[in-house]
């Protein structure tokens, strides 16, 4: 199943493999945790999350792998990702370039310049995720939540209400409203993007 | 009794955190430790949780002091634990023997990483399995449990505390860096449904007979300051704890320390078997390697190879009777573990002649791939692996 423009429909697939990557401090691990919690607690799927560990998570490259499945997940590593998110150039070089055919790349358009030749025929979505967080919410650090909401709306990974609940569980006291808005903006922007694709159709 | 501190409910939880929550649910109120990757999150979680429930978190100056503090707290009447990784586990070895000899309940979690020495701080291995069995000096029995998921990090930690109390002995949780750093669903049952085995306490007031052994070979354990005049002695001692360094007393004591556990081994064995009944090749594995073995067995079955999985949740004591019995009818075993052949030695020891035993492992640094285990299964199935009588072919 595919949505507009080859974006994979991950709402009801037996198994979905997701890699989120960037650099330490962007909230990549937290985003993975929130997505995993939403799928575990609210959409009742099996989820396993494995994170990179060590100095990498404190400034260098940072990445987290999630597998969402209806059945038992024995081997906990991603074999063929359905989605790769890259919020840094280094992450794109490490994980974006080598992704399999049909795998969605979601990249921050201000932080990543893609290789046009490699992306030819691939499913690529570029969005100024961090800029939206900065300009529309005044908080750059909410970019991870904007990204998550954008990704979930594009692919149907988890439903908006499920994501909202999981985000609320992880939001530090006093930041609930800010994080709720970040989800809203991510969804809004994804809707705008999907509508633009519909408009392109003959 | 106050409200149970167990975090009952469904969680998306890190393996290390689940170890800590298992300890809290089991009634642990003392953690003494020296944080070390990849076990640090156990200490971090305990530092957060213990003060909330009136427990004590004590960061010590090193692992020697950590294990000593844990044993002291146990004699103070608390259920106590520590968590560490290879380098710290090595330092704790002497006092693990002290716990065996003084019959002190304690739980030690070793989240295994690449070794020898400081090796690979952040990367996985399962190379401490024989150290777990024999790392302290002398002939003794040890209980070692191995989780394959965050859920089992919780469940087996509860069990570790129960066994430590029942047998008055140190119990090891031999986790690995991969399982400890997976985040998965963890269901913590309602407090009333979590089975807790209390410490065997004296029922008589201080005086003759109060601390006598019974048929369990485990004596009641008083806490320091309760008035029971008991020596806690690492030298060979009599039933009152008084040093008696004679061959006769020594043999009786060491025999009993071994017997109280080995005699009960069938209650301690805990393995999960999958598609074993018609299997011709059985993968024996534990921890993270067992998860990968499960996948390899699935693939093998899909290809028509009669493979099965025997997953150890208790590695020590080792289920020699079951493995021995299976060996009589199998083409062979594949032992999948992140070392160069440790538990596979046990499998070799108990397998009958003619049953081949192949080790599928590496020295650590990354987990096995299902394909590697599948290849080993195929080799055993086709009779290409060395049989037990020619096992010298192995590393």
Total domain count for chain B?
2
Does A85 have pLDDT greater than 50? yes
Q: Is residue B91 part of a domain?
A: yes
Mutate to test the interface with A, among B153, B184, B307, B311 (most CBs of A within 10 A): B184
Number of residues that this document lists for chain A: 202
Residues from chain A that touch B38, judged by Cβ atoms under 8 A, are 53
If asked whether residues B59 and B188 sit together in one domain, one would say: yes
If asked whether residues B49 and B143 sit together in one domain, one would say: yes
Residues from chain A that touch B10, judged by Cβ atoms under 8 A, are 40-41
Measured between CA atoms, the residue of chain A closest to residue B123 is A53
Distance CA B16, CA B361 (A): 24
If asked whether residues B139 and B40 sit together in one domain, one would say: yes
Q: Beta-strand (E) ranges in chain B?
A: 9-14, 28-33, 56-59, 79-84, 106-114, 120-124, 143-145, 170-176, 182-188, 271-274, 281-285, 307-312, 314-316, 332-337, 356-361
If asked whether residues B178 and B291 sit together in one domain, one would say: no
Residues from chain B that touch A40, judged by Cβ atoms under 8 A, are 10, 12, 184-185
Check residue A5 and give its pLDDT. Answer: 79
Does B392 have pLDDT greater than 80? no
Distance CA A137, CA B7 (A): 35
Range of the domain at B351: 273-393
Of B177, B182, B298, the CB nearest to A76: B182
Q: Is residue B235 part of a domain?
A: no
Closest to B121 measured CA to CA, from A25, A77, A53:
A53
State the ipTM, two decimals.
0.94
If asked whether residues B145 and B46 sit together in one domain, one would say: yes
Distance CA B314, CA B167 (A): 15
Residue for token pair 């601390």 = B211
Domains of chain A, start order: 4-200 (3.40.920.10)
Per-residue model confidence as pLDDT tens digits over A103-127: 999 999 999 999 999 999 999 999 9
If asked whether residues B24 and B142 sit together in one domain, one would say: yes
If asked whether residues B19 and B147 sit together in one domain, one would say: yes
Give the CA distances from residue A76 to residues B42, B294, B370, in Å, rounded to whole numbers and listed in that order. Answer: 21, 11, 11
If asked whether residues B375 and B281 sit together in one domain, one would say: yes
Q: Is residue B92 part of a domain?
A: yes
Per-residue model confidence as pLDDT tens digits over B339-374: 999 999 999 999 999 999 999 999 999 999 999 999
Domain containing B13 — which CATH number? 3.40.50.970
Does A149 have pLDDT greater than 70? yes
Q: Is residue B221 part of a domain?
A: no
Average pLDDT over every residue of B151-168: 98
- Asked if A138 reaches chain B (Cβ–Cβ under 8 Å), the answer is no
Give the end of a domain, one of B158, B193, B228. Answer: B193
Domain containing B369 — which CATH number? 3.40.50.920
Closest to B194 measured CA to CA, from B81, B14, B27, B10:
B27
| Residue B127 three-state SS | coil
Q: Is residue B161 part of a domain?
A: yes
Of A33, A49, A74, the CB nearest to B292: A74
Give the end of a domain, one of B193, B210, B239. Answer: B193
Which residues, other chains included, contact A78 with Cβ-Cβ below 8 Å and sequence gap of 6+? A17, A18, A19, A65, A67
Give the end of a domain, one of B144, B160, B193. Answer: B193
Residue for token pair 């083409």 = B331
- Are A30 and A170 spatial neighbours (Cβ–Cβ below 8 Å)? yes
Check residue A202 and give its pLDDT. Answer: 44
Check residue B117 and give its pLDDT. Answer: 97
Distance CA B56, CA B40 (A): 17
Give me the phi and psi of B168, to 5 degrees please. Answer: 50, 65
Q: A106 forms bridges with which residues in the sheet? A: A85, A125
Check residue A12 and give its pLDDT. Answer: 83
If asked whether residues B283 and B170 sit together in one domain, one would say: no
């Amino acid at each position: 199943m595919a949505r507009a423009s080859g974006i994979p429909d991950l709402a009801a697939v037996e198994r979905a493999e997701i890699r989120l990557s960037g650099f330490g401090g962007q909230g990549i691990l937290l985003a993975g945790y929130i997505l995993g919690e939403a799928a575990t607690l609210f959409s009742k799927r099996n989820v396993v999350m494995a994170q990179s560990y060590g100095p990498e998570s404190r400034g260098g490259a940072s990445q987290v792998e999630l597998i969402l499945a209806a059945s038992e997940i024995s081997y906990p590593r991603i074999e063929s990702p359905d989605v790769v998110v890259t919020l840094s150039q280094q992450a794109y070089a490490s994980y974006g370039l080598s992704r399999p055919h049909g795998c969605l790349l979601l990249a921050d358009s201000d932080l990543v310049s893609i290789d046009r030749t490699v992306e030819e025929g691939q499913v690529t979505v570029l969005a100024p995720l961090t800029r939206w967080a900065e300009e529309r919410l005044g908080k750059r650090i909410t970019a991870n939540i904007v990204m998550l909401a954008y990704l979930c709306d594009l692919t149907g990974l988890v439903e908006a209400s499920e994501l909202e609940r999981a985000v609320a569980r992880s939001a530090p006291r006093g930041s609930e409203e800010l994080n709720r808005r970040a989800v809203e903006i991510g969804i809004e922007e994804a809707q705008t993007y999907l509508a633009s694709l519909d408009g392109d159709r003959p | 009794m106050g409200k149970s501190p167990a975090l009952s409910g469904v969680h998306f939880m890190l393996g290390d955190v689940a170890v800590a929550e298992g300890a809290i649910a089991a009634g642990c109120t003392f953690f003494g430790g020296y944080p070390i990757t990849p076990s640090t999150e156990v200490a971090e979680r305990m530092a957060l949780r213990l003060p909330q429930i009136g427990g004590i978190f004590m960061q010590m100056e090193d692992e020697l002091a950590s294990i000593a503090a844990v044993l002291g707290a146990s004699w103070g009447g608390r259920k106590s634990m520590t968590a560490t990784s290879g380098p710290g586990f090595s330092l704790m070895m002497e006092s693990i023997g002290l716990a065996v000899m003084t019959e002190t309940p304690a739980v030690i979690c070793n989240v295994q990483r690449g070794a020898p020495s400081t090796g690979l701080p952040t990367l996985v291995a399962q190379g401490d399995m024989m150290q777990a069995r024999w790392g302290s000096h002398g002939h003794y029995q040890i209980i070692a449990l191995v989780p394959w998921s965050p859920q089992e990090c919780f469940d087996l930690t509860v069990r570790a505390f129960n066994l430590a109390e029942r047998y008055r002995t140190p119990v090891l949780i031999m986790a690995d860096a991969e399982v400890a750093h997976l985040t998965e669903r963890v269901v913590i049952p309602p407090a009333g449904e979590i089975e807790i085995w209390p410490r065997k306490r004296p029922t008589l007031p201080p005086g003759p007979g109060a601390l006598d052994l019974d048929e369990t070979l485990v004596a009641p354990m008083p806490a320091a300051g309760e008035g029971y005049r008991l020596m806690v002695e690492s030298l060979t001692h009599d039933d009152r704890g008084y040093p008696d360094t004679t061959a006769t007393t020594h043999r009786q004591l060491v025999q009993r320390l071994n017997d109280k556990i080995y005699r009960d081994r069938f209650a301690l064995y805990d393995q999960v078997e999958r598609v074993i009944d018609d299997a011709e090749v059985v993968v024996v594995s534990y921890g993270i390697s067992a998860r990968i073995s499960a996948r390899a067995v699935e693939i093998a079955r899909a290809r028509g190879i009669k493979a099965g999985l025997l997953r150890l949740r208790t590695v020590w004591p080792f289920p020699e009777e079951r493995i021995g019995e299976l060996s009589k009818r199998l083409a062979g075993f594949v032992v999948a573990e992140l070392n160069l052949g440790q538990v596979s030695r046990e499998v070799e020891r108990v397998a009958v002649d003619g049953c081949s035993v192949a080790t599928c492992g590496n020295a650590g640094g990354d987990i096995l791939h299902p394909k590697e285990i599948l290849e080993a299964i195929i080799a055993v199935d086709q009779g290409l692996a060395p049989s037990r009588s020619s096992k010298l072919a192995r590393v």
